[in-house]
Structure 1
């Protein structure tokens, strides 16, 4: 028995019906992405509006990105103004952990009698700053903390005893400047893992900061 040839109309109809699932997926993706595209567009418009207002009020002008830094996201929102906090002084500076020009060092000084608490990772392998703060708080019970030093660009994690020695030297240098005990100085580092902290970059900038 011979098979009858398929009419061109029937073949075309099958092709159209086979394409429908793909079209449905495309329509679903379009509906799913539409709110995201709208949100990005609204954020970009808000950012443009903030920038236009900056011409009238310099205080509203966003900070220019550092040379070599990544571009600012259109979803970024301005950081809120923080009012002065009694008993806390903050200063920032550039220690040189980044190749491009951006600040990467924060020093906070606390008034005498300041109490602190720590929340630490439960991971069995902590960084040198984590180990330092855990031991310091165990000794002081969180009483009379005098300083917090934070650096970006180097996490000082997985660096063994040399990393612990670097953390201790940072705490020692800050303690001498603030006339307090080493255990009264909290330290934190964030950035590249497995690279030893060059503590001299921090201690050399302390007088300036």
Structure 2
């Protein structure tokens, strides 16, 4: 039961993260390409319903199929992973489960590939819009997107390798170490990545560094 709860929560939080990154890309697209309409397009009520959609939709694609298609695990049920990862747990199934495997692929496309496509399209439009403005404005616009691009590359890159790549017994060890990036490293460095564009944070870091050097 503890392993099941861990799998479901991890998948739910992961789906939320992917959809939120797609919404953040759309937010930057509106801010740069339609800056005069930003206050209207991304008003508080719109943000609220986008958040509600993310939470409810990710809940539906993770929890309902898990309840409808339970998996019976065989003994010894030792997971070849640091945690209860969905793909590693599925390898312990007693019977062949093509429907479950197909649904994992389908949900991975919905929660990983589809948001990634939205992000790519948003940034293609952003780059096309940035190239039309002056060089002074370009650096400011690119700096606004740099932190988000870094998080997207770190999170989606490793997530796609695990859930959309070929899964075999030989790749279990590789999946183990790749998962560290999107489960531990990416959430851990997110606050630092997003804070580096903040002048107050930069100033504080510089002051702390100078104080350490003086000592």
TM-score bracket, shorter-length normalisation: under 0.3
Q: Which has the higher relative contact order, 1 or 2, with Cα contacts under 8 A spaced 6 or more apart?
A: 2
TM-score (norm 1): 0.26
TM-score (norm 2): 0.25
Between Structure 1 and Structure 2, the one with more strand by share is 1
Between Structure 1 and Structure 2, the one with more helix by share is 2
